[in-house]
Amino acid sequence: MNKNTNLAITITSILFSYPDIPLSIEDGVDRFHKNISYDSATNLWTTIPITPGSGYFEEKDKDSDAGLLFEQKLKFVLPGEDDSNTQFFDLLRRPLLIKIIFSKGMPKLMGFQGNPARAERLLKSSANDSGSECVITCISTEPAWWISAETPYSPSSPDSGTTTMKIFLKGYCAKIDSVDDNTIYRGYPEGGTAFENDSTWAIELLKRNTETGEWDILWAEGNEECIFKWSDRLFYDYKYLI
């Protein structure tokens, strides 16, 4: 019986970016689907030239002392010889955000600011193929998110009389404390995992205006750095990022 390849979901494109690029992120239909906004003046994604059919993505969960973790691995082959890919390899040796586009469905996102993906190793492929295998990995506290939408925005000018709230895309959210319908704390540990008493958390507070229904996004002491304790989240002063 011949296999119906029309039913197979394959990787058609892989793109990369860096976690130091400012982004805004909001939940889509649920917390696993995200809408991303970015500065229209920013070239957010760069395409990785891959050998067609060489892309492979896997994700598996495992228990750890810090809770459930998800190990993500992406493999693909760069066409050409190692010496011709040296410059491109250098671009991938930095911490990364990876966008994976499939033949069907929404793109997936590997890595975030605070928990980036990394090129784990670069191997010479077999003598039968002309190309170099690249392996990119990320260990997260949540499955890789689906990207529901990407929207460029134009930041407000200083003279426009309006204020653009500065929001950064942090690492995978490891803790959520929904105090009530209008108050939500979210914790982002450095490296993706931490104990509640470790001073390695960035803590975000979402407060909803009961009159307008709009959400304010605040950070512990007005700081997005991972220097706070999740266990002390109720005692910090929460402010907008400057």
Judgement on whether residues 24 and 57 belong to the same structural domain of the protein: yes
Residue 161: inside a domain, yes or no?
Answer: no
**What's the whole-number average pLDDT of the chain?**
79
Q: Which residue has the higher pLDDT, 113 or 91?
A: 91
Judgement on whether residues 123 and 180 belong to the same structural domain of the protein: no
- Residue 72 sits in which domain range? 9-149
Residue 226: inside a domain, yes or no?
Answer: yes
Structure tokens at 11: 């990787």
Judgement on whether residues 56 and 129 belong to the same structural domain of the protein: yes
pLDDT category at 150 given cuts 50, 70, 90 is: confident
CB 76 within 8 A of CB 55: yes
Residue 167: inside a domain, yes or no?
Answer: no
The count of domains in the chain is: 2
Judgement on whether residues 228 and 123 belong to the same structural domain of the protein: no
Residue 114: inside a domain, yes or no?
Answer: yes
pTM (2 d.p.): 0.61
pLDDT category at 105 given cuts 50, 70, 90 is: confident
4-13 pLDDT per residue, tens: 545 678 999 9
Residue 160: inside a domain, yes or no?
Answer: no
Judgement on whether residues 107 and 212 belong to the same structural domain of the protein: no
